[in-house]
């Protein structure tokens, strides 16, 4: 039984690459939680793709025991969170399980867009925040300037900020003391009915579904019968443990503690993040408020290159969904690509990570269609439909208006690149909402249409600012605009994998660029191929791919000119017939490359 006053629950939040996972490594190492021989860099990043890209994707937790200077031993539950905007969902739910946060800021880079977003989530969750300046050993570090910036931009007192280097271990003992002295202890009543929050769940091939919980009130023991309040499902607890990265079995979990249990649950779908867990016989009166479910923002089609791999793809997607509740998939068919899945993601990095995992862990070659967003189609009969795939657009005579999702984008950029960023946002139909300065850097807030952002906005932003800009966004809701569906026709046949929603004013330029690109990518055939971009029945752009030609008059030496004419007419008729029945083969890379459009 652990005294509540000796427990501290905290998370580490920061922008990408400011050193969260390295700081977690040092805390684990200094307290001897993991034996020296088992230590490795980024201890808590367990997926191959996390280690390879050097990013955190899943929030991970560890329990550390720390003998403090006051002679007491404290239990510290640490949650290491992702820094990337696509995984902000992981951050928001980790915040609810803890009482305080270490805000890590790079002492040379200063406050970035994602630092702001993550701190605001911590403030929303009423956290006590301890600022930590990392990478203090770098020659470019300017702690005084960064402290001032934290106070100006975020508005929290940074006079007591800790100065550390997570890489060398400088200042880490002070961090541990600050956690004990400056962060609050959890509250909870041991004798009240059990009330626990489901923080996360994942699938383990030996144990089944593993569920991570934070106990608010009451006690849970091995063998207890529990009930999930949202789903009403009942389970018996088989195993209780805490993570010291490895599982260590324990007899009971009391208030304020974070631990895991298994209960012969078959599917991760049966465990909803944010659900309240209580005893079956003695339930708590009121459920916890829970979280908003994660809403996929970007959709794209995933199709196997070889149609025979479809069953493998289905199995692989089902397995990935077990561990990632924010990834959705449903079956779809396409005339050009055969059977596949329409998948929803939280952003483009999420899409790339899932695609890489499918290709690498399950060895499937994939075709990815153009990423698109969900549009709201308001029909004249007063109903509203969600449009996930531009190919399913209903007849425009029945449509009253089309609304598209908008986002509020916050961009932090050094002064000299501000002009280029403003031009990029204006080109993408952005509406400027705010422009302020924090030292040498401008903070621009724009209202942008999401479909202009999902494509290559982030890459363009990085290239026009030489990588110095940082970008973060939140969903703002839907707004009506002049949107049309642009279809691409190759040899008079529509290619549904290339159809997309565009703004009416941009459609002509977009269509022309697309046709020119396809003309380079599609190989020539024996007959000429028209490539057209059309809106409804109106063609707005056209390119013609000329035919490969055989010289049929080569064997005519002199003689009457009508002989030549007759052979050419015969060839012309043959080509016409061939074009009527001929199939145009569009190579796989044409789909991918046609979509990478520069504005």
Where in 457-575 does DSSP place strands (E)? 470-480, 483-490, 493-494, 500-503, 529-535, 538-545
**Local confidence band at 599 (pLDDT 50, 70, 90 cut-offs):** very low
pLDDT digits (tens, 9 = 90+) for 399-446: 888 888 888 888 888 888 888 889 888 888 888 888 888 667 788 898
pLDDT digits (tens, 9 = 90+) for 183-196: 888 888 888 888 88
Look up residue 252 and give its two tokens: 């009971």
**Same domain for 41 and 142?**
yes
- Region 120-144 average pLDDT: 83
What is the model's pLDDT at position 591? Answer: 66
Is the per-residue pLDDT at 104 higher than 70? yes
**Same domain for 262 and 275?**
yes
pLDDT digits (tens, 9 = 90+) for 66-79: 887 777 888 888 87
What are residue 472's phi and psi, to 5 degrees? -150, 150
Is the per-residue pLDDT at 292 higher than 80? no
What is the model's pLDDT at position 38? Answer: 57
Long-range CB contact pairs, 499-506, < 8 A, 24+: 499/390, 499/391, 500/370, 500/372, 500/390, 501/372, 501/375, 501/387, 501/390, 501/393, 501/402, 501/404, 501/451, 503/429, 503/449
Residue-number span of the structural domain to which 87 is assigned? 4-182
What is the model's pLDDT at position 589? Answer: 64
Instruction: Give me the torsion for CA of 76, 77, 81, 87, rounded to 10°.
Output: -160
Is 225 a member of any domain? yes
What is the model's pLDDT at position 325? Answer: 66
Where in 491-569 does DSSP place strands (E)? 493-494, 500-503, 529-535, 538-545
- Region 137-142 average pLDDT: 84
Reported as half-sphere exposure (CB side, CA atoms, 13 A), residue 454 has a value of 29
Residues within the annotated binding site for GTP? Answer: 17-22, 134-137
**Same domain for 30 and 153?**
yes
What's the CATH code of the domain at 207? Answer: 2.40.30.10
pLDDT digits (tens, 9 = 90+) for 272-291: 777 788 888 887 777 777 66
The answer to whether the CB of 290 falls within 8 A of the CB of 230 is yes
Is 285 a member of any domain? no
Residues within the annotated binding site? Answer: 17-22, 134-137
**Same domain for 496 and 454?**
no
Separation of CA 4 from chain center: 36
**Same domain for 49 and 96?**
yes
Point out the domain boundary residue: 449, 481, 513: 481
Q: CA 195, CA 392: separation in Å to the nearest integer?
A: 46
Is 66 a member of any domain? yes
Residue 227 or 19, more confident: 227
Is 290 a member of any domain? no
**Same domain for 226 and 358?**
no
Cβ-based neighbour number of residue 386 at 10 Å: 9
3-class secondary-structure state, position 553: coil
| Total domains present in the chain | 5
As a whole number, the mean pLDDT across the chain is 79
Is 188 a member of any domain? no
Point out the domain boundary residue: 369, 404, 432: 369
DSSP assigned state of 294: P
Is 189 a member of any domain? no
Is 110 a member of any domain? yes
Point out the domain boundary residue: 155, 182, 209: 182
- Characterize the bridge pairing of strands 7-13 and 100-106: parallel
**Same domain for 164 and 258?**
no
**Same domain for 413 and 463?**
yes
Q: CA 426, CA 284: separation in Å to the nearest integer?
A: 53
What's the CATH code of the domain at 568? Answer: 3.30.70.2570
pLDDT digits (tens, 9 = 90+) for 476-529: 888 888 888 888 888 888 877 778 888 888 888 888 888 888 888 888 887 788
**Same domain for 312 and 352?**
yes
List the end-to-end C-alpha distance of the chain, in Å, as a whole number. Answer: 62
What are residue 84's phi and psi, to 5 degrees? -85, 145
pLDDT digits (tens, 9 = 90+) for 456-470: 677 778 778 776 777
**Same domain for 21 and 156?**
yes
What's the CATH code of the domain at 356? Answer: 3.30.70.870
Q: How many helices (H) and strands (E) does the chain have?
A: 14, 31
Best CA proximity match to 17, nearest among 56, 46, 52: 56
Is the per-residue pLDDT at 340 higher than 80? yes
Is 270 a member of any domain? yes
What is the model's pLDDT at position 34? Answer: 63
What's the CATH code of the domain at 82? Answer: 3.40.50.300
**Same domain for 335 and 465?**
no
Q: CA 148, CA 159: separation in Å to the nearest integer?
A: 9
**Same domain for 35 and 169?**
yes
pLDDT digits (tens, 9 = 90+) for 22-50: 887 787 777 766 655 555 555 544 455 55
pLDDT digits (tens, 9 = 90+) for 313-331: 888 888 777 666 677 888 8
What's the CATH code of the domain at 470? Answer: 3.30.70.240
């Amino acid at each position: 039984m652990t005294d509540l006053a000796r427990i501290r629950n905290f998370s580490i939040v920061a922008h990408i690459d400011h050193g969260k996972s390295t700081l977690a490594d040092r805390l684990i190492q200094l307290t001897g939680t993991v034996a020296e021989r088992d230590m490795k860099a980024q201890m808590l990043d367990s997926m191959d793709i996390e280690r390879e890209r050097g990013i955190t994707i899943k929030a991970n937790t560890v329990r550390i025991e720390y003998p403090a200077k006051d002679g007491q031993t404290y239990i510290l539950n640490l949650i290491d969170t992702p820094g990337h905007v696509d995984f902000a969902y992981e951050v928001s739910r980790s915040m609810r399980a803890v009482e305080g946060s270490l805000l890590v800021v790079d002492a040379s880079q200063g406050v970035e867009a994602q630092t702001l977003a993550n701190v605001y989530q911590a403030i929303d969750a009423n956290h006590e925040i301890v600022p930590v300046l990392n990478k203090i050993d770098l020659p470019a570090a300017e702690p005084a300037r960064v402290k001032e910036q934290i106070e100006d931009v975020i508005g929290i007192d940074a006079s007591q900020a800790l100065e550390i280097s997570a890489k060398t271990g400088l200042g880490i003992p002070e961090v541990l003391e600050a956690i004990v002295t400056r962060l609050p202890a959890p509250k909870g009543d041991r004798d009240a009915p059990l009330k626990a929050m489901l923080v996360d769940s994942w699938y383990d091939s030996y144990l089944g579904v593993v569920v991570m919980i934070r106990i608010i009130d009451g006690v849970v023991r091995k063998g207890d019968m529990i009930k999930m309040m949202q789903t009403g499902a009942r389970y018996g607890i088989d195993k209780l443990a805490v993570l010291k990265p490895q599982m260590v079995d324990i007899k009971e979990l009391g208030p304020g503690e974070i631990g895991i249990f298994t209960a012969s649950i078959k599917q991760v779908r049966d465990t909803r993040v944010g659900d309240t867990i209580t005893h079956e016989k003695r339930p708590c009166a009121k459920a916890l408020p829970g979280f908003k479910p994660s809403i996929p923002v970007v959709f794209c089609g995933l199709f196997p290159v070889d149609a025979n791999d479809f069953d493998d793809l289905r199995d692989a997607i089902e397995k990935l969904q077990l561990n990632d509740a924010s990834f959705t998939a449903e079956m779809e068919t396409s005339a050009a690509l055969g059977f596949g899945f329409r998948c929803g993601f939280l952003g483009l990095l999420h899409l790339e990570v899932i695609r890489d995992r499918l290709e690498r862990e399950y060895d499937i070659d994939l075709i990815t269609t153009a990423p698109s967003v969900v549009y709201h189609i308001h029909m004249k009969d007063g109903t509203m439909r969600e449009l996930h795939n531009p190919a399913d657009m209903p007849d425009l005579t029945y449509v009253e208006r089309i609304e598209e999702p908008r986002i509020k984008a916050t961009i932090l950029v050094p002064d000299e690149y501000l002009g280029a960023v403003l031009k990029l946002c204006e080109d993408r139909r952005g509406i400027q909402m705010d422009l302020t300065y924090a030292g040498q850097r401008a903070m621009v807030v724009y209202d942008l249409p999401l479909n202009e952002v999902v494509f290559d906005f982030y890459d363009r932003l990085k290239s026009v600012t030489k990588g110095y800009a940082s970008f973060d966004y939140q969903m703002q809701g839907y707004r009506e605009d002049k949107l049309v569906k642009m279809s691409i026709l190759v040899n008079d046949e529509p290619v549904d994998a290339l159809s997309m929603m565009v703004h009416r004013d941009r459609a002509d330029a977009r269509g022309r660029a697309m046709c020119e690109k396809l003309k380079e990518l599609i190989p020539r055939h024996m007959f000429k191929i028209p490539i057209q971009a059309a809106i409804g029945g109106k063609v707005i752009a056209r390119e013609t791919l000329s035919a490969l030609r055989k010289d049929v008059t080569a064997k005519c030496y002199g003689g009457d000119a009508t002989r030549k004419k007759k052979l050419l007419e015969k060839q012309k008729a043959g080509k016409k017939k061939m074009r009527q029945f001929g199939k145009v083969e569009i190579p796989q890379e044409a789909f991918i490359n046609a979509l990478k459009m520069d504005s």
